[in-house]
């Protein structure tokens, strides 16, 4: 009697995909999801519409599921389609990364290193660290992706990235580690023309008439923003934007009474603009803590480029308890050893 357990059925579907599936079909699924139209998706990857339609039909017949459904403005993936598209995105991203690495190796690179970084890490941890790394290992090809930790950590777990510079995750699976490198806290920033700019010991109440830029939901600083602004100013004025994008914040903060709460690490990049300033605000003493910035990686990844990068980062980790406001990255190889 054939085995009909869920795991056995999954093995059958996997075998079908590996035997009869094509990379072009996975690329088409991603394009259809991006464009919401089979005609536009086909054109974007240089297929005829009839060939694209046939490719999707072949895949649906192979897996015995419907992957897309029509609606008034085009097509959208079914639940089954969403599951396969997520895998297709991971596969195509992995292949694209592999192609970049192969190209670099063919051009003479001695190794490759795939990194992810959240914006706060891009402004504080990576610049001094990679400056030293690139000087000491000029032949290593670096592929750096910036994004949210929620998007980057799954890529690390799927081995599409070698390391992710992010805030301390709530948990990591066995076999993965996180090394804290930089303690962080929050500050209030605003336009240089803000009424409270340049004043010392500004009370929180003095910002009651500010127009606030709200951090994006589902990031740690949002909980602090809610505890400070929403709790103390129930009638606060808001700019109709939620963001942690540094370029977007840079533009929005040009308005005279605009303000926001952001990590100190992110503020360093913003404060390079003379039209933005740090507001000397006394924040409530009891606030949700902001997790430290650091690096997450797979413990059994012994690739030399990653180990060299972690070696350079270790002095910063060791100095974190002594110097919570700064990042100590070595400037010479001997300092790192």
Q: Determine, yes or no, domain membership for 1.
A: no
3-state SS, one letter per residue, for 168-179: CCCCCCCCEEEE
Q: Determine, yes or no, domain membership for 105.
A: no
Q: Determine, yes or no, domain membership for 101.
A: no
- What is the mean predicted confidence (pLDDT) over 63-91? 87
- DSSP states of 185-243 as a string? -EEEEEETTSTTTT-SSB-GGGGTTPEEEEPPTTSHHHHHHIIIIIHH-TT-EEEEEE-
- What is the mean predicted confidence (pLDDT) over 309-333? 57
Report the Cα 138 to chain-centroid distance in Å.
25
Count structural domains, the chain: 3
User: Is residue 306 domain-shared with residue 178, that is, in the same domain?
Assistant: yes
User: Is residue 321 domain-shared with residue 270, that is, in the same domain?
Assistant: no
User: Is residue 84 domain-shared with residue 119, that is, in the same domain?
Assistant: no
Residue 150 above 50 pLDDT? yes
Q: Whole-structure pTM over 0.75, yes or no?
A: no
Beta carbons within 8 Å of 113's beta carbon, 6+ residues apart:
140, 141, 142, 143, 162, 163, 303, 305, 306, 309
Would you state the pLDDT for residue 178? 95
Would you state the pLDDT for residue 337? 24
User: Is residue 27 domain-shared with residue 173, that is, in the same domain?
Assistant: no
Q: Determine, yes or no, domain membership for 94.
A: no
CATH assignment of the domain containing 73: 1.10.10.10
User: Is residue 26 domain-shared with residue 58, that is, in the same domain?
Assistant: yes
Would you state the pLDDT for residue 286? 81
Which of 39, 57, 89 is the endpoint of a domain?
89
Q: Determine, yes or no, domain membership for 97.
A: no
CA 205/CA 243 separation, integer angstroms: 24
Alpha carbons within 13 A on the beta-carbon side of 174: 0
User: Is residue 174 domain-shared with residue 313, that is, in the same domain?
Assistant: yes
Would you state the pLDDT for residue 98? 72
Would you state the pLDDT for residue 148? 82
Q: Count CB neighbours of 294 within 10 A.
A: 25
Q: What Cα–Cα distance (Å) separates residue 71 from each residue in 36, 52, 68, 75, 77?
A: 10, 18, 10, 6, 10
Model confidence band, residue 43 (pLDDT cutoffs 50, 70, 90):
very high
Would you state the pLDDT for residue 104? 65
CATH assignment of the domain containing 271: 3.40.190.10
- What is the mean predicted confidence (pLDDT) over 31-38? 91
Would you state the pLDDT for residue 336? 28
User: Is residue 225 domain-shared with residue 165, that is, in the same domain?
Assistant: no
Q: Determine, yes or no, domain membership for 36.
A: yes
Expressed as residue numbers, the domain containing 169 is 110-182+291-336
Would you state the pLDDT for residue 331? 33
User: Is residue 209 domain-shared with residue 274, that is, in the same domain?
Assistant: yes
- What is the mean predicted confidence (pLDDT) over 174-181? 94
Ranges assigned E (strand) in the chain: 68-71, 74-77, 111-117, 140-146, 163-167, 176-182, 186-191, 211-214, 237-242, 258-263, 276-279, 293-298
User: Is residue 177 domain-shared with residue 296, that is, in the same domain?
Assistant: yes
User: Is residue 127 domain-shared with residue 144, that is, in the same domain?
Assistant: yes
Model confidence band, residue 271 (pLDDT cutoffs 50, 70, 90):
confident
Model confidence band, residue 6 (pLDDT cutoffs 50, 70, 90):
low
**Mean pLDDT lowest among 71-75, 152-156, 294-298:** 71-75
User: Is residue 240 domain-shared with residue 256, that is, in the same domain?
Assistant: yes
CA 60/CA 250 separation, integer angstroms: 47
Q: pLDDT averaged over the chain?
A: 83
CA 241/CA 211 separation, integer angstroms: 11
Would you state the pLDDT for residue 324? 40
The length of the chain, given as a count of residues: 337
Model confidence band, residue 318 (pLDDT cutoffs 50, 70, 90):
low
CA 179/CA 211 separation, integer angstroms: 37
Residue 325 above 70 pLDDT? no
Would you state the pLDDT for residue 124? 87
Q: Are 173 and 193 in contact (CB under 8 A)?
A: no
């Amino acid at each position: 009697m054939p085995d009909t357990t869920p795991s056995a059925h999954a093995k059958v579907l996997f075998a079908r995909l590996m035997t009869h599936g094509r990379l072009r079909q996975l690329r088409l699924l991603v394009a259809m999801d991006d464009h919401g139209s089979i005609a536009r998706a086909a054109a974007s990857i240089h297929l005829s519409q009839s060939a694209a339609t046939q490719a999707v039909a072949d895949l649906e017949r192979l897996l015995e599921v419907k992957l897309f459904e029509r609606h008034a403005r085009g097509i959208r993936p079914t639940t089954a389609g969403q599951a396969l598209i997520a895998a297709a995105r991971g596969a195509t991203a992995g292949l694209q990364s592999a192609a970049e690495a192969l190209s670099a190796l063919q051009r003479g690179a001695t190794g490759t290193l795939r990194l992810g970084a959240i914006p706060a890490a891009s402004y504080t941890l990576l610049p001094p660290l990679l400056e030293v790394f690139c000087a000491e290992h000029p032949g290593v090809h670096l592929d750096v992706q910036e994004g949210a930790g929620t998007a980057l950590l799954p890529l690390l777990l799927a081995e599409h990235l070698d390391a992710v510079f992010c805030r301390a995750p709530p948990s990591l699976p066995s076999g993965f580690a996180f090394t804290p490198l930089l303690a962080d806290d929050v500050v209030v920033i605003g336009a240089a023309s803000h009424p409270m700019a340049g004043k010392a010991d500004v009370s929180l109440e003095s910002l009651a008439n500010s127009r606030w830029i709200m951090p994006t939901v589902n990031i740690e600083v949002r909980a602090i923003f809610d505890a400070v602004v929403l709790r103390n100013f129930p009638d606060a004025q808001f700019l109709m934007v939620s963001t942690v994008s540094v370029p977007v914040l840079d533009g929005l903060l040009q308005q005279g009474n605009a303000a926001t709460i952001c990590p100190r690490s992110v503020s360093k990049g913003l404060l390079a603009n003379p039209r933005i300033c740090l507001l000397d605000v006394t924040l409530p003493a009891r606030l949700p803590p902001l997790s430290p910035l650091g690096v997450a990686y797979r413990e059994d990844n012994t690739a030399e480029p990653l180990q060299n990068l972690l070696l350079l980062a270790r002095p910063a980790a060791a100095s974190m308890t002594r110097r919570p406001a700064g990042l100590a990255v070595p400037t010479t190889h001997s300092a790192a050893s």
